[in-house]
Chains A and B, each alone.
Chain A
Amino acid sequence: MIQFDAVHKRFPNGTTAVHDLTLRMPEGGVTVLVGSSGCGKTTTLRMINRMVEPTSGTIRVGGKDVTRQDAAELRRSIGYVIQQAGLFPHRTVLDNIATVPLLLGHGRRRARAKAAELLETVGLTAEAGKRYPHQLSGGQQQRVGVARALAADPPVLLMDEPFGAVDPVVRTQLQDELLRLQKELSKTIVFVTHDVDEAVRLGDQIAIFRTGGHLVQCASPAELLARPADDFVADFLGAERGLKLLSLKTLAGVPQGPAPEGEAWTLVLDAADKPLHWASKDGAEIPVRPLKDGDSLLAALDESIASPTGLVARVDAAGRLTGVTSRDDIHRHAGQAHSEARVAA
């Protein structure tokens, strides 16, 4: 657990980066710090491993005041991932990952063995370990950055816009993998981004900062989207915040009925009961995107608009048709999701 108590940071040039911040970042959860540039989110992150020293107030990691610890030792106990990875260009990928274990005196052999293991964890081949950072793509470098931060198995992981410099497709992949890793590892993660969608996707709680280093609101993504504290938060979340909330809710529990037969449009299945496309009586075909229970209400709403019948094809884990859900049912659940989020907490 990371606890900020009345933390203030004023830089020598007189600007206040963080203003009277009291914030709790729960153990094993992902806290995302968002806000426009210059709002103090990165400064907040960097005060945790003392890359920036607070002007006043206390910051405790696992109950211990960070300023009472040796800075270098503290940093070795906290994983740190930065934008564009910040890898050491003169060290191989393997040696980059082994950095902190080597600093801890684990010995080259053990450190490299651990590094090789982590390569696999973050989805890179053993062959990549022998390369130098400049020989990897941006996405691969970012994976190495994550592996390097995890190498000494720190309980806390600080991530400063780690996926800011990669293209949207790779970014989504990296986010997925971070979520998968987090399920296994349950680290206490502090994640800085200016991308609201990324925050909603990754955060267990989101802290929104305003210029001048003021924390405006800290809440779960659902609560934040349903009940923004003020106009600033509402504006920051954007006009589609209602839809963003739906990205947090799954289709599970939304009723389904049998697929229509003998009507204007029918759902064509293959031999294994997997939906292929919608077909009309006069031979037109429209593609179908079948959804599983784990897919979001937002995806269902999107598909219900694209579907010629307003019906969404539902499938099981193996991709076999289980039934269809109407646009009306999806709308009703979307509305429910909003009212629940507004009432909750």
Chain B
Amino acid sequence: MTIDWSWIGDHTDDLTSLTLSHLQAAMTAVFLGVLISLPLAVVAHRIRPLRGFLLGVSNVLFTIPSIAIFVLLLPVSGLTRTTTVIGLTVYTLVVLLRNTVEGLDSVPAKTKEAAKAMGTRPLRTLLTVEFPLALPVIMAGVRIATVMSISLVSVATYIGDGGLGQLFTDGFQRNFPTPVIAGVVLTILLAVVADALLVAVQYVLTPWRRRRA
């Protein structure tokens, strides 16, 4: 299996735009996933009877095969980027929801109690005490969801999207390995860089976890 470097040289523009499109699909999905799972996690955390239900639903959604989810969405949103993003978002929910609930659970009761006793109202406690302290666990979820989404975007090739995934079908159809290898390498690179960035973001957002005494 040899790499045809001249093909890569001739297609740098295509590779760049596919990479960006790939990244955009994954990032949008994670962003929407966070937006949806934060309030749902608060509900699941506060109202015990709903916790099992919400986590159960997100688990069931996760078991739907990825191709099936795109096909099921076709009558709703057609062969569009929207279909890709909705599908990916559904998958991020299981990780994000579970981790956010666990993150909120991990906040020490004593700390919440102190906030209340100081005269902090519930919403402010949630925003300024519970979320910051849950952040490490939430961020662990965001990292998994991000890497997972980046790897899953390729599946959307079946509905004509799929970012770097298009390189795989192209390579398979022509029995030409170079685009496949380029696609794999770029996908891995994207995942590694995105994960490293998230680690850096977490480092910046949680100064209290640095320089242990």
Contacts and interface: CB of A to CB of B under 8 A. Distances in A.
Contacts, number: 64
Given A74-B119, A89-B208, A84 B111 contact: no
A69 to B, nearest CB: 11
Nearest to B122: A72
A249 interface: no
A72 B119 contact: yes
A238 to B, nearest CB: 31
Contacts of B211: 135
Given A74-B119, A76-B118, A103-B118, A86 B208 contact: no
Nearest to A49: B117
A88 B111 contact: yes
Contacts of B208: 89-92, 132, 134
Contact of B114 (A76, A86, A134, A136): A86
A80 B115 CA distance: 10
Contacts of A148: 118
Interface in A65-90: 72-77, 80, 82, 84, 86-90
Contact of B133 (A76, A80, A84, A89): A89
Given A88-B129, A89-B208, A91-B208, A100 B114 contact: no
Interface in B110-125: 110-111, 113-121, 124
B200 interface: no
A160 B26 CA distance: 50
Contacts of B117: 49, 51, 75, 80, 82, 86
28 contacts: A51-B117, A72-B120, A73-B119, A74-B119, A75-B116, A75-B117, A75-B118, A76-B118, A80-B117, A82-B110, A82-B113, A84-B110, A86-B111, A86-B117, A88-B114, A88-B115, A88-B129, A89-B111, A89-B133, A90-B129, A90-B133, A90-B206, A91-B208, A100-B118, A103-B119, A103-B120, A103-B124, A134-B213
Closest 9 CB pairs of A and B: A76-B119, A135-B213, A75-B119, A86-B114, A80-B117, A132-B208, A72-B119, A90-B208, A86-B110
Interface of B: 108, 110-111, 113-121, 124, 129, 132-133, 206-208, 211-213
Given A80-B118, A87-B114, A134-B213, 6 more contacts: A84-B110, A88-B129, A89-B108, A103-B119, A135-B211, A148-B118
